[in-house]
Amino acid sequence: MALPENPNIFANNPLDRASYRRTDKAWIAEQLANPVSLFVPFRRLPKRDWEPFVLPEAAPSQGKDIGWLPAALIPELAGEGCLVFLGINKRGKALFAADVSETKNAEEHPALKGQGAFEDLRGLAMAGEITPSELAIMAQAKSMIDWHSRHGFCSVCGHRSEMAEAGYKRQCPSCKAEHFPRTDPVVIMLAIHDGKCFLGRQKIWPKGMHSALAGFVEPGESIEEAVARELDEEAGLKVSEVSYHSTQPWPYPSSLMIGCHAVADTEDFEIDGVELSEGRWFTREEAKAIIAGQGDGTAWFPPPFAIAHQLIKAFAEG
């Protein structure tokens, strides 16, 4: 039975991740030598963010495409950079992601020059310039490439670790410790009471922007407990019921946003002044109007690519 469509950008990855192939070095080598296999180049920015290589629009209004290149170019572009197997697409092609940051001015390399440019993934998602399927693949690729860049040394003994299992493990040659990619769970929740939803603001946000509250799940804490704790800490809201809505992979650098609705006991709240600077209850009618771009101008919500938007939309639609 097929899974229901997740409403969030960066979800619904269409690849067969073929995890059983990751330990098969001979098979991975065959795919790298296969002329139909493809890879997407990533480069690292000074602030440790990553950009994929993107092709321009083939025609107006057709959108941009991820710059998939023949795997045969990997040694030339990536050198000793990180290389991760992503999976197999519906056409049976093996896909990889490669860190090409070692290649100076990679856009000027003969294999890339004049074909496209490295672009910000968040900006592409917000503009809707890349298909949802490819955005989901890029979320996987970006998270994996970033993990390797941050975990080059063993956390047990400090020795430089080595990549294994097509990029899904690092192993220490000194103490033999094994290290695996991490995902940080984050709860993001909408408190609801008597036909209203509660949204907060941070000082650094653009004027008028209100969004759902969020925070990392702590060790030894359930999702429900994290939702209740964050709402209490940031806004003094007490909740008696928590329900799951959906999740969103968030590759900044590698989080899983766990979206929830929570029933508040009252509308009384007290802003902490640290995480939040303001808070406000919105009626269902107000939320509908703001989503439709017909609000009174005092508030606006995150765009559709954010899970917060989907939580508010679900509330507004009842």
Enumerate the β-bridge partners of residue 118. 53
Each residue's pLDDT tens digit, 45-93: 987 799 999 999 876 767 899 999 999 999 999 988 899 999 999 999 9
Q: Cβ(53)–Cβ(118) under 8 Å?
A: yes
Position 160 pLDDT exceeds 90: yes
* pLDDT of amino acid 81: 87
Segment 105-118 mean pLDDT: 93
* pLDDT of amino acid 5: 87
- The mean predicted confidence, pLDDT, of the chain is 95
Enumerate the β-bridge partners of residue 42. 52, 99
State the DSSP string of 113-169. TTT-EE--HHHHHHHT-S-HHHHHHHHHHHHHHHHHHH--B-TTT-PBPEEEGGGTE
Segment 130-140 mean pLDDT: 96
Position 2 pLDDT exceeds 80: no
Q: What are phi and psi of 258, to 5 degrees?
A: -105, 105
User: Residue 39 and residue 53: Cα distance in Å, rounded?
Assistant: 10
Segment 99-105 mean pLDDT: 92
Window from 1-10, 103-112, 207-216, 280-289 with minimum mean pLDDT = 1-10
* pLDDT of amino acid 156: 98
Helices 307-316/284-291 angle, 10° precision: 130
Q: Cβ(102)–Cβ(108) under 8 Å?
A: no
Each residue's pLDDT tens digit, 222-270: 999 999 999 999 999 999 999 999 999 999 999 999 999 999 999 999 9
* pLDDT of amino acid 1: 59
| Per-residue pLDDT band at 152 (split at 50, 70, 90) | very high
User: Residue 218 and residue 233: Cα distance in Å, rounded?
Assistant: 14
Residue written as token pair 């704790």: 229
CA 216 to chain centre: 15
Segment 190-194 mean pLDDT: 98
- Residues of the chain with pLDDT > 70, as a percent, come to 99
Segment 303-310 mean pLDDT: 96
| Per-residue pLDDT band at 281 (split at 50, 70, 90) | very high
Position 220 pLDDT exceeds 90: yes
State the DSSP string of 202-261. -TTSPTTB-B-EEEEPPTT--HHHHHHHHHHHHH---EEEEEEEEEEEETTTTEEEEEEE
* pLDDT of amino acid 173: 98
Q: pTM score, two decimals?
A: 0.94
Each residue's pLDDT tens digit, 10-58: 999 999 999 999 999 999 999 999 999 999 999 999 877 999 999 998 7
* pLDDT of amino acid 46: 86
Segment 192-196 mean pLDDT: 98
* pLDDT of amino acid 40: 97
Position 318 pLDDT exceeds 90: no
Strands 162-164 and 117-118 come out as: unpaired
Burial class (CB in 10 A: 0-12, 13-18, 19+), 297: exposed
Position 289 pLDDT exceeds 70: yes
User: Residue 265 and residue 253: Cα distance in Å, rounded?
Assistant: 35
* pLDDT of amino acid 59: 65
